[in-house]
Structure 1
Amino acid sequence: MHILIIEDNPDIIANLYGYLEPLGYTLDVARNGIAGVSCATGAFHDAIVLDLSLPGMDGVEVCRTLRQEYRLATPILMLTARDTVHDKVTGFEVGADDYLVKPYSLPELDARLKALIRRARNEQVQSVLTFGDLRLDASTGQATRAGQPLDLTPTGYKILVALLRVAPGLITRQTLEREVWGDSPPDSDALRTHIHTLRQVLDKPFPQPMLRTLPGTGYRLVMPDEA
């Protein structure tokens, strides 16, 4: 599991590394809010641990930026000394998925991260995924748009499932490659080719496209009236 820690306290960073790395986590760290946004949008992470009191850009603004500007769907756990109800409500309102107050238990942090990642990976699988006039039934492997069957390739099917799980949120290129090919994505620009093929099926026969590319960032589904 690949975790991004956005935290400026070196002692807390050291404690997180000391506890989480032996459990098998791969950790990246950003020591201010601006670097945190850059790291979060520039590479795949299974979850983000975000402090609120950060130099450059505080954690609330980091979370708001990732959710609203970049449409990043990566689970975010806020880790902070701010323990009022107002602080917690604010955190959830800007897009946090969980909130853990310092001082905290490291085993509890591990358990919360694993729960967030399970939910993000949709391990309790929905059998039917819908967004706008798109419908995909995982129990039958059939997808339709506006009631019309979509003739998907096996890879196109995996891509569409990944997009629907986070819609209308953004899925980064790295995350999508991992969804399709696991930890061994092809060296070539295979994803671009498969996205092109999916567009021919998903968008070309219809008046308005739904699959949008955010250059240098990733992909997302939009409602036809947003396209």
Structure 2
Amino acid sequence: MNRILVVEDHAPLRDQIAALLLAAGWAVEEASDGRLGLQLALAQPPDVLLLDLGLPGLDGVALCQRLREQADRHVPVLMLTARDSLDDKRQGFGAGADDYLLKPFASEELLWRCQALARRGELGRSPVLRCGPLRIDRRSAEVCGTAGQVLPLPPQAYRLLLVLAEAWPRTVSRSELHQQLWADEPPESDALRSHLYTLRQALGPDQGLVKTVHGVGLRLSPPA
């Protein structure tokens, strides 16, 4: 599931965009001001950042500039604004935007552009993640452990490990894990505990990599 961060201070429009993206199968995170938007984008880089320009706290151009300076990977940025002059567009692209969409916009076009940016971001990202002794191949959904053997991970246990690996070294809260694994359809039982147990059993000698941070969530802790 692709993740998108919507940074827009106009609540009705933000709600409209979030509903559109959720219906299309995206995991949506929201921010109403520039400082919070930058904080969220750096803490867990989304697959696409949908960015308004006229934001309180930190405007969209400054946010994009700081993101390009501080992020450890390229986050595709779609600027969404009513500013339609050539100079406005020059500033947006100069700050590091990947695309620019004028308000008002057609819902279908917004989705097309977000999907295209997500694909572009995926092409620039290595398909293989390494975390300590683990090797996670996103293409084949295979995980290799210390001895190089492929670990028998069920789909949700694999997804749990992938979320933790992509967030490393950050601790991922239980609420965020629920959102990543089940979006808006959380299971009735404590399925996270069950998938965590399955993951640790499958990791065998590497199960100590998955740490519980009490009162916070889970994180991977590979040896230095």
User: So what's the TM-score if we normalise by structure 1?
Assistant: 0.58
1:8–1:31: 8 Å Cα contact kept in structure 2? Answer: yes
Given candidates 124, 147, 155, the residue that maps to 2:135 is 155
Q: Which AA in structure 1 matches 2:68?
A: R
**Which residue is equivalent to 1:165?**
none
**Cα 1:67–1:176 shift into 2, 3 Å:** farther
The residue number in structure 1 matching 2:52 is 51
Aligned positions of 1:56-205 closer than 5 A: 56-122=57-123, 155=135, 177-178=165-166, 187-188=210-211, 190=220, 192-193=222-223, 196=224
Contact 2:77 2:98 in 1 (8 A): yes
Deviation string, structure 1 residues 144-182 (Cα, Å, up to 9, x no partner): xxxxxxxxx872898xxxxxxxxxxxxxxx8892499x9
3-state SS of the aligned residue for 1:121?
helix
Distance in 1 of aligned mates of 2:33 and 2:87 = 23
Deviation sequence 1:98-152 (CA, Å, 0-9, x none): 10010111111101111111011118x9xxx9xxxxxxxx9xx9xxxxxxxxxxx
* Residue of structure 2 in register with 1:13 after alignment: 14
Q: Distance in 1 between matches of 2:3 and 2:78?
A: 14
- Classify 1:43/1:157 alpha carbon distance in 2 versus 1 (closer, same or farther; 3 Å): closer
Supply the AA of the counterpart residue of 1:66: L
State the AA in 1 paired with 2:222. R
Displacement after TM superposition at 1:69 (Å) = 3.1
By how many angstroms is 1:191 displaced?
6.2
CA distance in 2 between counterparts of 1:11 and 1:84 reads 25
Q: SS at 1:4's partner residue? A: strand
* Count of equivalent residues: 154
Cα distance in 1 between the residues matched to 2:111 and 2:221: 32
> CA, structure 1 residues 19+157, in 2 after alignment: closer, same or farther (shift >3 Å)?
closer
| 1:113 aligned partner, one-letter code | C
Q: From the superposition, tell whether residues 154 and 70 of structure 1 become closer, same or farther in structure 2 (CA, over 3 Å).
A: closer
Runs of 5+ unmatched residues, structure 2? 139-161, 169-179, 182-194, 200-208, 212-218
